[in-house]
Structure 1
Amino acid sequence: MITMIAAAAENNALGKNGEIPWHLPDDFRHFKKLTTGHHIIMGRKTWESFPKPLPNRTHVVITRDKQYNPPGATVVHSLEDALAYCKQEAHTFIIGGGEIYKLGMPYATHIELTRVHNEYAADAFFPEIPESEWQLVNSTFHDVDDKHKSGFTFQSWKRK
């Protein structure tokens, strides 16, 4: 199973200048719950946005830079190489960024999307989910509260 997991605004914004424009603690918990114990595939910019490797996950970083060798990650040079590295895993997650999600769409079997109910200026975007190819199988709304300045919905999609 290959799952793309992301939080994206109504306009599909993911972030700008390597920063996420919202703070949603329940989304962080959701991400941690789903990805802990699994391989996570990401681009170099996503990797570099973390202060340190995420605990209890195998980090697979895609970059064109043949010299790139950060501690705590396995480096590959294409999404196909990343998927080959993870092929023995029952469940692998693609965690971003925008270009990696675009590349991953044809390979994904599932999407876990946190839809943030606002629009933001961004330089990275989640790709459109073609509803002719995908079915929304679960949707859970979370309203604004004292810890969440934006409402959001956890959406689970499965390829038809």
Structure 2
Amino acid sequence: MILSLIVGIGKNREIGKGNDLLWHISEDLKNFKKITSGKPIIMGRKTYDSIGRPLPKRRNIVISRDPSLKIEGCDVFTDPEVVLKDLKESGVKEAVVIGGSFIYEYYLPKVDRIYLSEVEYEGEADVFFPKFDRSEFRVSDEAFFEETENSPAWKFSVLNRL
């Protein structure tokens, strides 16, 4: 199984504020949907709360410390290792970690691939992506997007662990 992670970060690794995204880039959201559709997605409870509903055409996995938490349309786990075991046993080809910061921090050392959107944003945030060693990855795909009236400039890269 390939364990992937998808994230959009600002210049200082900013990823959110007030349990919300820092920018709205239509093309990046479409890319997120394309990459994650048909695959299990792994998220923390706060990320689920910010989305507000299970995302369609994906197995929604929520990790929470609350063993009594039930969310309709989602599989809730308390142990992130049990999530991996469950996915491997079910024969999944690729699962995608979608946040938030604690979930990213836990799975980052274990991921095989990172789908990374780097946004020309430098500003207020209360959630950050953990530091990681880019030398452990190689870029297999990259695309650049100019600033528009509706979005800042950004770069999308696929990083595969060496």
The interval holding the TM-score normalised by the smaller chain is over 0.9
Q: 1:98-154 CA deviation, whole Å, 9 max, x = no partner? A: 110010111100000110111122121112230231122222110111332x11100
In structure 1, list runs of 5 or more residues that go unmatched: none
Match of 2:76 in 1: 75
Matches within 5 A, 1:10-159: 10-87=11-88, 88-148=91-151, 150-159=152-161
Q: Please state whether the residue corresponding to 1:3 is helix, strand or coil.
A: strand
Length-normalised TM-score, structure 2? 0.94
RMSD of aligned residue pairs (Cα, Å): 1.0
In structure 2, list runs of 5 or more residues that go unmatched: none
Structure holding more helix per residue: 2
Length-normalised TM-score, structure 1? 0.95
Counterpart code for 1:3:
S
Q: 1:37-63 CA deviation, whole Å, 9 max, x = no partner? A: 010000000011113211100001001
Aligned residue pairs: how many?
Answer: 159
Q: Please state whether the residue corresponding to 2:76 is helix, strand or coil.
A: strand
Percent of residue pairs bearing the same amino acid type? 33
Measured in 1, the distance between the counterparts of 2:22 and 2:60 equals 24
Q: 1:14-34 CA deviation, whole Å, 9 max, x = no partner? A: 101101110100000000000
Counterpart code for 2:41:
I
